[in-house]
């Protein structure tokens, strides 16, 4: 089995074409901003950027991000072959300039030059039922937006945030307020309530795979998502922090069980440039959705 051609195609599509739900959200928010405002100008520029990147098959942003493969596949899926071919595809996409050389060894400062290194790219595996069609989503996660992610440990005296959903809400609005448009707003929040520190970060990032407008099947979390979204967009921070009604495009909240002594709230912030594309793998032919 050779996964290389379909994975190279998937990476290129992810780097150059924004998912239609993100583009649609940017357009619908543009319609709510005042004509001639900074917010309108920024959103129009983003939409033009998206159009040009697609038309010319160029990266949507100079920071092509860190590379994540989220794979759901049955137990007998050839994982090692997949990872080898994915790494080959990453090297080729880097060589073609569709992925920036973003992999730096932390101790030496050496850039590996081909986007390969320890746990880079990152593979997130999830087991599926025996007859399920394997599915892979590539997420290119911008570094600037990763920098404004944050993890809270409740209770938090500064925020007057206790170990309850009201406390969670205070954390999420604080995260948006602190960012002040940095990380290239309008943003999208992936959130995890609970878990340990590492598990919370993993779950928060995984929440970013949901489509704009998707609400949690847990009605309590769905209500919280909508409330935080509405309140964040009333803060007036706006696109790139220049003012306006469009600070967030959506909020996605998941929850994990936790140790009785711990209550973490983890926020993974993504910029407007939400590059994720999904492929179903059928006999090494793909259909990108
Ligand atoms: S945060 Fe996103 S839009 Fe901003 S520079 Fe990084 S990847 Fe690009």
Domain assignments of the chain as residue spans, ordered by start: 4-13+60-142+275-288, 144-270
Q: 31 CA to middle of ligand 1, Å?
A: 23
Q: What are the pLDDT digits (tens) for 219-266?
A: 999 999 999 999 999 999 999 999 999 999 999 999 999 999 999 999
> pLDDT tens-digit profile of 64-81?
999 999 999 999 999 999
Residue 57 gets which letter from DSSP?
A: T
63 lines ligand 1 (CB under 6 A): yes
The pLDDT of residue 129 is above 60: yes
Burial zone of 118 (CB within 10 Å; 0-12 exposed, 13-18 middle, 19+ buried): exposed
Any idea what the Cα angle at residue 185 is, between residues 194 and 221, rounded to 5°?
A: 30
Residue nearest (by alpha carbon) to ligand 1 atom 7: 142
84 CA → ligand 1 middle, Å: 28
Neighbours of 248 (CB within 10 A): 24
Task: Report yes or no: 37 and 31 within 8 Å, Cβ to Cβ.
Answer: no
Compute the distance between CA of residue 281 and CA of residue 71 in angstroms, rounded to an integer: 10
Quick check: 84 and 144 in contact, CB under 8 A?
A: no
pLDDT of residue 33: 98
Residue 281 CA, ligand 1 centroid: distance in Å = 29
Which pLDDT does position 286 carry in this prediction? 54
Q: Whose CA is nearest to atom 4 of ligand 1?
A: 184
Q: Is the CB of 225 under 6 A from ligand 1?
A: no
pLDDT, averaged across the chain: 97
Give φ, ψ of 160 to 5 degrees.
Answer: 55, 40
How far, CA to CA in Å, does 155 sit from each of 52, 254, 265? 46, 19, 10
CA 146 to centroid of ligand 1, rounded, Å: 9
Q: Residue 198 CA to chain centroid, in angstroms?
A: 17
Confidence of residue 289 (pLDDT cuts 50, 70, 90): low
The 3-state DSSP class for residue 241 equals helix
| Ligand 1 touching residue 65 (CB < 6 A) | yes
- Rounded to the nearest angstrom, the distance between the alpha carbon of 38 and the centre of ligand 1 is 19
Joined tokens for residue 248: 């967030």
- 158 Cβ contact partners less than 8 Å away, ≥ 6 residues apart: none
Residue ranges of the alpha helices (H) in the chain?
4-16, 20-30, 38-56, 79-95, 143-147, 165-179, 197-207, 219-232
Between the alpha carbon of residue 184 and those of residues 43, 88, 110, 176, 270, the distances in Å are: 11, 30, 27, 12, 8
Distance between CA atoms of 234 and 190, rounded to whole angstroms?
19
Distance CA 203, CA 236 (A): 29
Q: Could you identify the residue written with the tokens 């954390």?
A: 171
Q: Is the CB of 241 under 6 A from ligand 1?
A: no
- Residue 287 and residue 136: Cα distance in Å, rounded? 11
* Ligand 1 lined by 183 (C-beta under 6 Å): yes
Q: Is 273 in the pocket of ligand 1 (CB under 6 A)?
A: yes
Ligand 1 centroid to Cα of residue 188, in Å, is 12
Q: Residues 92-120: pLDDT tens digits? A: 999 999 999 999 999 999 999 999 999 99
Instruction: State which fold the 4-13+60-142+275-288 domain adopts.
Output: Dihydrodipicolinate Reductase; domain 2 (3.30.360)
Does residue 143 line the site of ligand 1, with CB under 6 A? yes
Measure 208 CA to ligand 1 centroid, in angstroms: 15
Q: What is the pLDDT of residue 140?
A: 98
| CB-ligand 1 contact for 16 (6 Å cutoff) | no
């Amino acid at each position: 089995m050779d996964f290389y051609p379909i994975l190279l195609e998937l990476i290129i599509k992810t780097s150059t074409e924004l998912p239609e739900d993100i583009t649609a959200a940017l357009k619908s928010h543009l319609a709510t901003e005042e004509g001639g405002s900074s917010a309108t100008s920024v959103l129009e520029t983003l939409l033009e950027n998206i159009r040009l990147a697609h038309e010319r098959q160029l990266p949507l942003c100079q920071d092509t991000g860190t590379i994540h493969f989220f794979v759901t596949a049955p137990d007998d899926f050839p994982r090692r072959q997949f990872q080898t071919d994915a790494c080959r595809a990453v090297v080729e996409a880097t060589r073609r300039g569709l992925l920036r050389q973003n992999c730096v060894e932390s101790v030496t400062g050496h850039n590996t030059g081909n986007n390969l290194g320890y746990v880079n790219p990152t593979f997130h595996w999830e087991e599926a039922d025996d007859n399920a069609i394997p599915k892979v989503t590539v997420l290119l996660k911008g570094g600037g937006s990763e920098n404004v992610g944050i993890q809270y440990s409740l209770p938090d005296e500064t925020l007057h945030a206790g170990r309850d959903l009201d406390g969670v809400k205070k954390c999420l609005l604080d995260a948006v307020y602190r960012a002040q448009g940095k990380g290239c707003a309008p943003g999208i929040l992936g959130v995890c309530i609970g878990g340990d520190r590492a598990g919370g970060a993993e779950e928060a990032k995984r929440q970013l795979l949901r489509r704009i407008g998707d609400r949690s099947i847990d009605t309590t979390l769905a209500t919280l998502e909508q409330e935080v979204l509405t309140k964040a967009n009333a803060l007036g921070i706006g696109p790139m922090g220049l003012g306006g009604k469009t600070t967030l495009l959506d909020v996605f909240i998941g929850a994990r069980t936790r140790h009785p002594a711990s209550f973490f709230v983890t926020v993974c912030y993504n910029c407007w440039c939400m590059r994720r594309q999904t492929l179903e793998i059928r006999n090494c032919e793909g259909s990108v959705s």
